[in-house]
Amino acid sequence: MKVIQVLVVDDSAFMRKIITEMLESDSRLQVVGTARDGEECLQKIKKLRPDVITLDIEMPVMDGITALKKIMDDNPLPVVMLSTLTQSGTIKTFQAIAMGAVDFISKPSGAISLDLGSIKEEIISKVVVAAAANINKPIAPVQGNTTKTVSQPFNNKIVAIGTSTGGPRALEQLLMGIPSDFPAPIFIVQHMPAKFTKSLAERLNFSANITVKEAVHGEIIESGIAYIAPGDFHMKIREVGTSYAIELTSEMLIQRYQPSVDVLLQSIAALQKTNKTIAILTGMGKDGSQGIKEIKSVDKASYIIAESAESSVVHGMPKAAIETGYVDKVLHINQIGEEITHAVNKSRRD
């Protein structure tokens, strides 16, 4: 196996040292160079030709966003952004993802995080995954849509979507294919830490035809709304009298993920007399595959879609779903929103 060569870019000498030591503790990775700002990063890329770049967002001379744009325009490479947990940091993170960054790492305690070691395995894992990512995936343009149809009462049709690495762009593209009169609620699990999911919901709400919001514990679900599981909470659907409500819990990590696609799907499997449409999109790992098995075991009429390798940034989650043998259709991300709409409308006619 070829050793993955990494360029580490951060304006802090301390952070460059810590990140380098972490990455080089894994035999799959070799740090071939470091840079203290975006300008030096561009120079080092030409000289060192790295496989992956870790790129800090906030830097002097040339910041990470400007450097990322030049990288993706001139010499596209897999980039993992390093971001702070501030409001500005989350906005710039989603800007970077829209521009082509594979993934991001949130620094746990600000620009100079002395406790970065607490997320060592996450950093290593994301860099390794980025090295194999499909960075030529088309990026959907962001188009504001302020006209939203009023939501409708829930009518026993449910859509659930699970995704991880590459998910924000995939979700944006999928939701653009969902019409404003969509007759079902959509439940979304995106592997993402707390604070970032609220910004994700706001960004998707800006471009989608339906309302997109971060889910709230105990709220009664309505059709025509997409609910995103908050970071650090599992999202479940439960019956409340003749209605259904969202339940947010944090009882355990599932395969290192919280929120977990499997937890959402397992709760949906328990719902009686509901038409279920599930889509598993780009992401590393296999979260969602167990949930698919449980849904199909109790409801053979449920409809399962997986994103194709062609459009996935990382084909781990869709591939694991396909390998269960329960996926009904494999589609490019451009087609999934329309297919979900067709499936839900067909269930209404049937």
Higher pLDDT, 299 or 107: 299
Within a domain: 315: yes
Angle, CA 230 vertex, CA 151 and CA 295 arms, to 5°: 75
Considering the domain architecture, whether residues 156 and 104 belong to the same structural domain is answered as: no
Q: 334 pLDDT band (50/70/90 cuts)?
A: very high
Q: What pLDDT shows up at residue 256? A: 73
Considering the domain architecture, whether residues 127 and 158 belong to the same structural domain is answered as: no
Considering the domain architecture, whether residues 15 and 121 belong to the same structural domain is answered as: yes
| Spatial distance between the Cα atoms of 346 and 280, rounded to a whole number of angstroms | 20
86, pLDDT greater than 70 = no
Q: Which CATH number is 164's domain given?
A: 3.40.50.180
Query: CB count, 10 Å around CB of 112?
Result: 14
Higher pLDDT, 345 or 113: 345
Which of the residue ranges 7-21, 128-142, 224-238 would you say has the lowest mean pLDDT?
128-142
350, pLDDT greater than 50 = no
| Spatial distance between the Cα atoms of 294 and 268, rounded to a whole number of angstroms | 9
Residue 264 · residue 291 · CB < 8 Å: yes
Considering the domain architecture, whether residues 126 and 186 belong to the same structural domain is answered as: no
| Spatial distance between the Cα atoms of 298 and 169, rounded to a whole number of angstroms | 32
Domain end residue (candidates: 75, 100, 131):
131
Q: What pLDDT shows up at residue 269? A: 95
The boundaries of the domain holding residue 298 are 152-349
Q: Which CATH number is 95's domain given?
A: 3.40.50.2300
Per-residue pLDDT reduced to its tens digit, 272-301: 889 999 999 999 999 999 999 999 999 999
Q: 189 pLDDT band (50/70/90 cuts)?
A: very high
Which of the residue ranges 208-222, 244-258, 295-309 would you say has the lowest mean pLDDT?
244-258
Q: What pLDDT shows up at residue 348? A: 54
β-pair partners for 301: none
Per-residue pLDDT reduced to its tens digit, 191-223: 988 888 998 999 999 989 999 999 999 999 999
| Spatial distance between the Cα atoms of 237 and 326, rounded to a whole number of angstroms | 22
Considering the domain architecture, whether residues 50 and 185 belong to the same structural domain is answered as: no
| Spatial distance between the Cα atoms of 328 and 84, rounded to a whole number of angstroms | 40
Helices (H), the chain: 13-24, 38-48, 64-74, 87-99, 120-131, 167-175, 196-207, 261-269, 289-298, 316-323, 333-349
Which of the residue ranges 99-103, 194-198, 225-229 would you say has the lowest mean pLDDT?
194-198
Total tally of structural domains belonging to the chain: 2
Q: What pLDDT shows up at residue 114? A: 53
Considering the domain architecture, whether residues 198 and 319 belong to the same structural domain is answered as: yes
Residue 10 · residue 16 · CB < 8 Å: yes
Considering the domain architecture, whether residues 184 and 273 belong to the same structural domain is answered as: yes
Within a domain: 136: no
Percent over 90 (pLDDT), the chain:
71
Q: Output the CA torsion sign for 38, 39, 40, 42.
A: positive
Q: 349 pLDDT band (50/70/90 cuts)?
A: very low
What phi and psi values does residue 71 have, to the nearest 5 degrees? Answer: -60, -50
Q: How far is CA 98 from CA 104, 303, 338, in A?
A: 12, 29, 22
Q: Which two tokens stand for residue 159?
A: 């859509």
Considering the domain architecture, whether residues 254 and 118 belong to the same structural domain is answered as: no
Comparing C-alpha atoms, which of 69, 336, 94, 72 is closest to residue 206? 94
Mean pLDDT calculated for residue range 161-174 = 95
Catalytic positions, written as ranges: 164, 191, 287
Considering the domain architecture, whether residues 111 and 189 belong to the same structural domain is answered as: no
Mean pLDDT calculated for residue range 240-259 = 83
Considering the domain architecture, whether residues 61 and 207 belong to the same structural domain is answered as: no
| Spatial distance between the Cα atoms of 237 and 246, rounded to a whole number of angstroms | 5
| Spatial distance between the Cα atoms of 228 and 241, rounded to a whole number of angstroms | 23
| Spatial distance between the Cα atoms of 157 and 222, rounded to a whole number of angstroms | 10
**How many residues in the chain?**
350
Q: What pLDDT shows up at residue 113? A: 55
Q: Which two tokens stand for residue 96?
A: 């970077």
Q: What pLDDT shows up at residue 254? A: 63
Considering the domain architecture, whether residues 119 and 199 belong to the same structural domain is answered as: no
Within a domain: 146: no
142, pLDDT greater than 70 = no
Which of the residue ranges 17-21, 138-142, 168-172, 225-229 would you say has the lowest mean pLDDT?
138-142
Considering the domain architecture, whether residues 182 and 328 belong to the same structural domain is answered as: yes
